[in-house]
Amino acid sequence: MIHAVDWFPTLLSIAGGTPDPTLDGVNQWQAISAGARSLRSEFVYNIDEVDNRSAIRVGKYKLIQGQRDHWYYGKDPQPEFRLFDLNKDPFEHEDIAEQETHIVKKLKERLEFYRKTLVPANIGHHRKLADPKLFDLDNLSPGWC
């Protein structure tokens, strides 16, 4: 298990540098080069406190909260939490949350642990200069370039 934040400390270590221990990433060179066990057993995909969506992976399990997945569920109501066993179901087709409630509880606790250290999102206010009508676009523009 390797997360994107692991690339910087891994490449820095290969180049002879010493990663800052306060960074989120870890040096995964032994896992990549020698097939050693990953130094990571979990990671947070995201915690979006604005839209109340989040996802975490612990071992082989991935818990998703609040994501909208029309591919999987169509227009049917979706559960607040979905759980997947990525070893058996890497494409996340079979939600096992109802059968594995104890795992859902454990992963929700881990999300809450990380939520306590969350740095709030820096989301700017809607600006009139970003209105797509000003640019003949169908989406928002930053309005400053």
Find out if CATH 3.30.2320.50 is the number for domain 41-119.
no
Asked if residue 56 has pLDDT above 60, the reply is: yes
Could you tell me if 69 and 91 are in contact, meaning their C-beta atoms sit under 8 angstroms apart?
no
Encoded tokens for 136:
């003949």
**What is the β-pairing status of strands 53-58 and 61-65?**
antiparallel
The pLDDT tens digits for 70-85 are 555 566 677 899 999 9
Per-residue pLDDT, 141: 52
Please report, for the chain, the start and end positions of each structural domain, with discontinuous segments joined by +. 1-40, 41-119
User: Across residues 106-135, what is the average pLDDT?
Assistant: 79
- Least reliable range by pLDDT among 2-11, 36-45, 48-57: 48-57
Encoded tokens for 58:
């612990």
Of 22 and 106, the one with more pLDDT:
106
Asked if residue 131 has pLDDT above 80, the reply is: no
User: Across residues 15-24, what is the average pLDDT?
Assistant: 90
Per-residue pLDDT, 71: 55
Provide the percentage of residues in the chain whose pLDDT is more than 70: 77
Q: Which residues make beta-bridge pairs with 49?
A: none
